[in-house]
Amino acid sequence: MRTLITGGAGFIGHHFVEQALKNSDMELLLLDRLDCSSNLGRVRQIDSFEKNRNRIKFFYHDLKSPVSKQLYEQIGQVDWVIHMGASTHVDRSIEYPMEFVMDNVVGTTNLLEYARKRETKVVYFSTDEVFGPAPPDKSYKEWDRYNSGNPYSASKAGGEEMCLAFANTYKLPVIITHCMNVFGERQHPEKFIPMTIKKILAGETVTIHSDRTKTIPGSRFYIHARNVADAVMALMSIPGTEGDKYNIVGEKEVSNLQMAEQIAKILDKPLNFEMMDFHSSRPGHDLRYALDGKKLAEMGWSPKISFEKSLEKTVLWTVAHKEWLCG
């Protein structure tokens, strides 16, 4: 089976590559523009890369432009397209919203046009943020209404709607996934977990975003990228999953303060933190996100590696590879 992975040198994309090399015989075609968030060094550090490098091909392309005829022929026929390439940083989307429209809506449409010509199946990788903030005790199901709180989430919702339009208009077989806060080895240092590791090691203060009273921290259902990749591969292997949406959810809800405390404990370092009113400091960010994961659970999927084990492994690996904290 030949699988094209957009964003294959990105954080989640390279973890999918790792899972596919270990647990399948796929030929993997990586499509990436190699910007600030992608790095071929990630792929080369995969344990099984050297003995499987003949199964990987790389293509440089920015999906803001359509796939050219030459690139179309170079890639050849594929069985699946896993669309993980996207701009994801909320703060940058607030400052440069049109860049996110171009990357996540126009880029997705160009990718769908390629897939339509190839008559291949597509997995579109979306986000929990399309639903907006989740009130206490509320977990959004796959087809609940959207309420994007920032240009990033709106652009991902726009990409989803293009996927549905191609499915309805051209009968393109598309799977849409919503995922929550993903962490793991080789994550960009702007993200919360590597940033927290770096600050704790340096004895700096960790900012914990909270409600206006500065007493209730924000919370997420964190999930390791390997578990995400495993869920995507499960959806690819189950017949009849096309034309639907699926939430990929971590096993437990963890506040940002609890996360920082666990990281400090693993590092055996003190935690210096400050609660900050995120409404004032981070417009466009939401205090709580939550997805309902019953659908995938009823299909027989659950995270194979626990949150605690995943976090400990990630923190210890990052300490041993501090070059990934530079940025």
Write the CATH number for 84: 3.40.50.720
Domain limit, last residue, from 209, 235, 252? 252
Please identify which of the residues 18, 103, 128, 286 carries the catalytic annotation: 128
The dihedrals phi and psi of 325, each to the nearest 5 degrees, come to -95, -5
Residues 233-245 have a mean pLDDT of 96
Q: Is the pLDDT reported for residue 327 higher than 90? A: no
pLDDT digits (tens, 9 = 90+) for 17-38: 999 999 999 999 999 998 877 8
Q: Is the pLDDT reported for residue 7 higher than 90? A: yes
- Give 277's pLDDT tier (boundaries 50, 70, 90): confident
Show Cβ contacts of residue 324 under 8 Å, excluding neighbours closer than 6 positions.
185, 186, 187, 189, 194, 318
Domain co-membership, 153 together with 88: yes
- Over pLDDT 70: what percentage of the chain? 97
Q: Considering the domain boundaries, does residue 159 fall inside one? A: yes
Q: Considering the domain boundaries, does residue 293 fall inside one? A: no
Domain co-membership, 132 together with 233: yes
Of 231, 226, 219, 236, the closest CA to residue 178 belongs to: 231
244 carries an active-site annotation: no
Please identify which of the residues 32, 103, 129, 160 carries the catalytic annotation: 129
Domain co-membership, 67 together with 93: yes
Q: Is the pLDDT reported for residue 278 higher than 90? A: no
What's the pLDDT at 283?
64
The kind and range of the H/E element at 80 are: strand 80-83
Domain limit, last residue, from 252, 268, 294? 252
Q: Considering the domain boundaries, does residue 150 fall inside one? A: yes
What's the pLDDT at 282?
61
End-to-end CA distance of the chain: 37
What's the pLDDT at 240?
95
Cβ–Cβ under 8 Å, residues 230 and 182:
no
Domain co-membership, 70 together with 176: yes
The enclosing domain of 260 has a CATH number of 3.90.25.10
- Give 231's pLDDT tier (boundaries 50, 70, 90): very high
- Give 232's pLDDT tier (boundaries 50, 70, 90): very high
Q: Is the pLDDT reported for residue 284 higher than 70? A: no
pLDDT digits (tens, 9 = 90+) for 12-22: 999 999 999 99
What's the pLDDT at 1?
93
CA distance 312 to 327: 22
User: What dihedral do alpha carbons 18, 19, 25, 31 form, nearest 10°?
Assistant: -50
Which pair of tokens denotes residue 140?
Answer: 């959004």
Domain co-membership, 159 together with 213: no
Q: Is the pLDDT reported for residue 261 higher than 80? A: yes
Domain co-membership, 8 together with 83: yes
129 carries an active-site annotation: yes
Q: Which residue carries 């303060």 as its tokens?
A: 257
Please identify which of the residues 114, 124, 152, 289 carries the catalytic annotation: 152
Show Cβ contacts of residue 283 under 8 Å, excluding neighbours closer than 6 positions.
94
Of 154, 157, 69, 159, the closest CA to residue 114 belongs to: 69
Domain co-membership, 227 together with 171: yes
Domain co-membership, 276 together with 152: no
Q: Is the pLDDT reported for residue 307 higher than 70? A: yes
Domain co-membership, 15 together with 146: yes
Domain co-membership, 61 together with 127: yes
Bridge partner residues of 59 (DSSP)? 31
Of 225, 247, 180, the closest CA to residue 19 belongs to: 225
Mean predicted lDDT score pLDDT of the chain = 94
185 carries an active-site annotation: no
Q: Is 124 helix (H, G, I), strand (E, B) or coil?
A: strand
Bridge partner residues of 51 (DSSP)? none
Q: Is the pLDDT reported for residue 325 higher than 80? A: yes
What's the pLDDT at 281?
59
- Give 112's pLDDT tier (boundaries 50, 70, 90): very high
Range of the domain at 282: 192-219+254-286+306-325
Domain co-membership, 142 together with 197: no
pLDDT digits (tens, 9 = 90+) for 91-106: 899 999 999 999 999 9
Domain co-membership, 119 together with 162: yes
- Give 42's pLDDT tier (boundaries 50, 70, 90): very high
Please state, as a whole number, how many other Cβ atoms lie within 10 Å of the Cβ of residue 148.
18
CA distance 80 to 206: 41
Show Cβ contacts of residue 290 under 8 Å, excluding neighbours closer than 6 positions.
128, 134, 138, 139, 140, 221, 253
Cα 121 to the center of its chain, rounded Å: 19
- Give 40's pLDDT tier (boundaries 50, 70, 90): confident
- Give 43's pLDDT tier (boundaries 50, 70, 90): very high
Q: How many domains does the chain have?
A: 2
Q: Considering the domain boundaries, does residue 139 fall inside one? A: yes
